[in-house]
Amino acid sequence: MSDAALEPFSPHADPAALDDLRARLLATRWPDAPEEAGWSLGADLDYLRELAAYWADGFDWTTQEIALARLPRYRARVGGLGIHLVHAPAAPSSAAASGVAIPLILTHGWPDSFWRFSKVIPLLTDPGAHGADPADAFEVVVPDMPGYGYSEHPSPALDSRAVAGLWSELMTALGHERFFAAGGDIGSHVSRYLALDHPERVVAVHRTDAGIPAPGADLSQLSPDERALVADAAQWNATEGAYGAMHRTKPQTAAFGLTDSPVGLLAWIVEKLRSWSDCGGDIEQSFTKDEILTNVTIYWLTGTIGSSMRMYNANSQLPSEQLARRVEVPSGFSIFPADIVRAPSDWLERSTNLVSATEPARGGHFAAFEEPELYAQELRDFFRPFRTQL
């Protein structure tokens, strides 16, 4: 893809849309809640009231929009869809130190967008400016998946394998036949399919989660730790997975309320940011109010909550044989301590060509945002031995 084919992209919210958002926030019809319920039944009423009040009369979206515009953002046509991406070159001093551009495509998950990697991008493109080795720099590509952020909404929704195919096209268009891939949450699945379906192109792949054995797997063939993983995942689904069941089965029903009510959208996303991060129960140990609201406001202004949820439905229809494939591309994992379900080494070795697995000291499901320095170092360390293969 020539530079001309990448159209610079710097969105500006319509003031009328922001006025409408504020009016809706101020007109919220609040639910009741049992005394002392806190977060035990879902989003905490008192915290949501506080956060919504700040969203209406304290949060400055224009300031956040300007900050995000400092990233080199573009739109491109890929597979017939308009894809929004950050395409950040390595810093000149770093590129000189490494001798070659090292392309890395990062894929986000739900409930987020390119926002997930907004803190880590400069650490990866210019490590020398952040106390790391300039030779570890990457050329970073961070697309919004179709139906998320500022990318177009596909109809019907695409599954993770189809998105991986788009990313392969995107990297070709950007001039990269060989590249690295990394991601978490749904982005981990997309990165997995990049490695599975395009192994001649993906030199190495890094993920923060590894999934679980495919439905119908013979548990007797699994190790005790792997059987414990299956049991842990089932327990997690029983206590925390209602949102996923909704997304997989009837996402359009939830989309009506979440697209219409900013506080409904806020509750749906904030509860997950708190539950899945390494915050010890205090969400603002991991995310400031401005950070939370930046993520949620992107969803609100782009109207992508429904289209993002529909990807779960698309993924639920992937055949089990696709879920059971083994990744032969060299694979690395960073298993953060507060992530949702933490896979044991037995499963990592069974399901991938495992060359590295680490357990960082801090971080949860949104590690790239929660602990950007740690996450950046994990990527530098894992990919360093493979740089000469590009």
- Cα–Cα distances (Å) from 100 to 90, 91, 97, 260, in that order, read 9, 12, 8, 48
**Per-residue exposure over 33-64, b if at least 16 CB sit within 10 Å of its own CB, e if not:** eeeeeeeeebbbbebbeebbeebbeebebeeb
- DSSP type of residue 89: P
Q: Is position 282 annotated as part of the catalytic site?
A: no
CA distance 353 to 335: 16
Report DSSP letters for 134-151, one per residue.
Answer: GGG--EEEEEPPTTSTTS
Yes or no: say if 228 and 343 are a contact pair by the CB < 8 Å rule: no
Q: Which of 185, 209, 278, 339 is catalytic?
A: 185
Helices (H), ranges, 277-353:
289-302, 305-316, 320-323, 345-351
Q: Which tokens in the block code for residue 329?
A: 């591309």
Q: Which of 44, 299, 365, 375 is catalytic?
A: 365
- Cα–Cα distances (Å) from 387 to 124, 137, 167, 180, in that order, read 14, 10, 20, 9
Cis peptide before 156 (omega within 30 of 0): yes
Q: What is the pLDDT of residue 3?
A: 46
Residue ranges and CATH numbers for the domains of the chain are 3-10+72-261+303-389 (3.40.50.1820)
Q: Is position 312 annotated as part of the catalytic site?
A: yes
Q: Which of 74, 312, 339, 375 is catalytic?
A: 312
Q: What is the pLDDT of residue 99?
A: 62
Q: What is the pLDDT of residue 4?
A: 46
Task: Let me know how long the chain is.
Answer: 390
* 390 residues of the chain, pLDDT tens digit each: 544 489 999 999 999 999 999 999 999 999 999 999 999 999 999 999 999 999 999 999 999 999 999 999 999 999 999 999 999 999 987 665 566 679 999 999 999 999 999 999 999 999 999 999 999 999 999 999 999 999 999 999 999 999 999 999 999 999 999 999 999 999 999 999 999 999 999 999 999 999 999 888 899 999 999 999 999 999 999 999 999 999 999 999 999 999 999 999 999 999 999 999 999 999 999 999 999 999 999 999 999 999 999 999 999 999 999 999 999 999 999 999 999 999 999 999 999 999 999 999 999 999 999 999 999 999 999 999 999 998
Q: Is position 60 annotated as part of the catalytic site?
A: no
